[in-house]
Amino acid sequence: MLNNTEQRPIILASTSPRRKELIASLHLAFEVIPSHADEHTPSDWTPEQTVQELAMRKALAVYRGLEGNRQEAIIVGSDTIVVLDNEILGKPVDAADAERMLSRLQGREHRVFTGVACIDAGTGHSVVHYRQTNVTMKELSEAKIRAYVQTGEPSDKAGSYAIQGIGASLIDHIEGCYFNVVGLPLSLLSDMLEGFGVYVLPGQ
């Protein structure tokens, strides 16, 4: 059992280095266990439904595969999508696909949704929520888009850009949570963790 001064450990069900860095910034004890969950979803699902379902799938995949004495742990799953004209823009398949995606996004507003799921490894109790951020990209020339794609940064990013990297230079403004666009809305996560007795600020 944990004593009153200890926090429950976190298991991050993700291989994303960005999510790992973000959760580390909260100074909570955590470990990473990849989920390998199926990420296929019906085409008629809403963005809100999609990210919440995928976040829960990732957390459940880790929960069901847990071994040993980890009943005190809280499992966190998360999923982020970029939506333009009600179409989900995933990760580009190649450089040409990244250029096409950025050509569509440039000069326009799009939406970024991130779902967050938490599961109590001891009881199986779970909660899931999401955040939305509106992002407006600058008008970009073909040369600038090509130069950005050539940096290699878009290759594994939903929407083909990274707001926390060189891609920040492409963004005009955002409305909502910045960390949501990176991949893990920390304000939402901290609120959810409080429901499981985990506090970012101790002594509450």
Rounded Cα distance, 172 and 43, in Å: 30
Half-sphere exposure of 152 (CA within 13 A, CB side): 0
The set of catalytic residues is: 79
**Residue-averaged pLDDT of the chain:** 92
Q: In the beta sheet, which residues pair with residue 116? A: 78, 129
**Mean pLDDT across 173-201:** 96
Rounded Cα distance, 156 and 175, in Å: 24
SS3 193: helix
**Mean pLDDT across 148-171:** 95
The pLDDT of residue 4 is 39
Residue 71 banded pLDDT, cuts 50, 70, 90: confident
pLDDT at 36 over 90: no
pLDDT at 70 over 80: no
The pLDDT of residue 69 is 67
The pLDDT of residue 39 is 81
Pinpoint the alpha helices (H) of 65-161: 95-105, 142-149
Residue 146: CB atoms within 10 Å: 14
Of 16 and 174, the structure prediction assigns the larger pLDDT to 174
The pLDDT of residue 150 is 97
* pTM, to two decimals: 0.92
Rounded Cα distance, 28 and 93, in Å: 35
Residue 92 banded pLDDT, cuts 50, 70, 90: very high
Q: In the beta sheet, which residues pair with residue 133? A: 112
DSSP codes of every residue in 84-97: ETTEEE---SSHHH
Radius of gyration of the chain (CA): 18
Residue 140: CB atoms within 10 Å: 18
Q: Tell me phi and psi for residue 62, to 5 degrees.
A: -75, -40
Closest-CA residue to 189 (of 58, 74, 112): 74
Rounded Cα distance, 17 and 112, in Å: 19
Tokens of residue 43, six digits: 């085409």
Question: b vs e for 113-125, b when ≥16 Cβ sit within 10 Å of the residue's Cβ?
Answer: bbbbbbbbbeeee
pLDDT at 1 over 90: no
Residue 2 banded pLDDT, cuts 50, 70, 90: very low
